[in-house]
Structures are given as structure tokens and as C-alpha cells.
Amino acid sequence: MSFDKKYVVWALGYLAAGICLGIFMAATHNHGQFPTHAHINLIGFLLSFGYGIIHKLWLGQPNPTLAKIQFIVHQAATVTIIAGLFLLYGNFVPEAQLDPILGIAAISVLASALLMLYMVLKTNTVKT
């Protein structure tokens, strides 16, 4: 499967999860997971979808190893942040235990964004 399609499939999965969490919060009148909901939709759906568009429109032949690393780092960091925030805002795990994990995951999201920037800058051709 191409990276553009992988990103769009993951993005739509995150969108479904974000909508489900939003419906749950509305139904229970408990909006305590709002930060988790926002992160699912922003770094899960929106950023993954954006990366899919970048792959489709701008990256002709990205380095396959670099593209794979960038994809794995982004998805692993996103899932870690979502799980960590769910545990934090659900009061399942104390903040002090989650902070280091969430910090590493946040830096990993940044690293994946910088890898994408590098791939875009290194691309000499535009897909048509």
C-alpha cells in the first residue's frame, strides 16, 4: 500500500475514533476527555491526512526507508499521546507517571514533522 493511502486510512480511523469519543462525551454530559478528543482529531486525523496529501501531491519518489521511519514514528507517537491523554484525563494514571511518556511522544511527533519537512525539501520532482 502506498504511503499516501496508508496515511489516509489511518487518518479516517482516527476520525472515527474522535467522533465516537465526541458522541460519548455528549451522551454522558462528561467532557473530561476533551483534550484527548482534540488530539485524536488534530494529530491523528488532520496531521495524518495532511501527510497523506503531501505524499500524494509533492513526494514523487521519497526515500522508502526514511518514509517508513517517518510513518512509524508519527503513528507510534500519536497512539502513545492518545492513550496517555485518555489515561490522564480519565484519572486512571497519575500525571507524574505519564509526563515522561507524553513528553517523549510529543518530541516524536515533532521529529516526524521534521522528517516530513526534510523529505519535502529533498524532493526534486512534483507528482503529476
pLDDT tens digits, one per residue of 15-65: 999 999 999 999 999 999 999 999 999 999 999 999 999 999 998 788 999
Confidence class of residue 128 from pLDDT cuts 50, 70 and 90?
low
Q: Quick one: average pLDDT of 75-90?
A: 98
Residue 127 has pLDDT above 60, yes or no: no
DSSP code, position 31? -
Name 3's Cβ contacts closer than 8 Å, sequence gap at least 6.
51, 52, 55, 59, 62, 67, 71
Per-residue pLDDT, 62: 87
Q: Judge contact between 47 and 70, C-beta under 8 A.
A: no
Q: What pLDDT shows up at residue 109?
A: 98
Rounded to the nearest 10 degrees, what angle do helices 64-89 and 47-57 cross at? 170
pLDDT given at position 60: 77
What single-letter amino acid sits at 29? H
- 89 contacts 35 by C-beta, under 8 angstroms: yes
Q: Where are the domains of the chain?
A: 3-122
Cell 521529529, residue located: 111
What pTM value is reported for the model? 0.91
**What's the confidence (pLDDT) of residue 95?**
96
105-115 residue pLDDT tens: 999 999 999 99
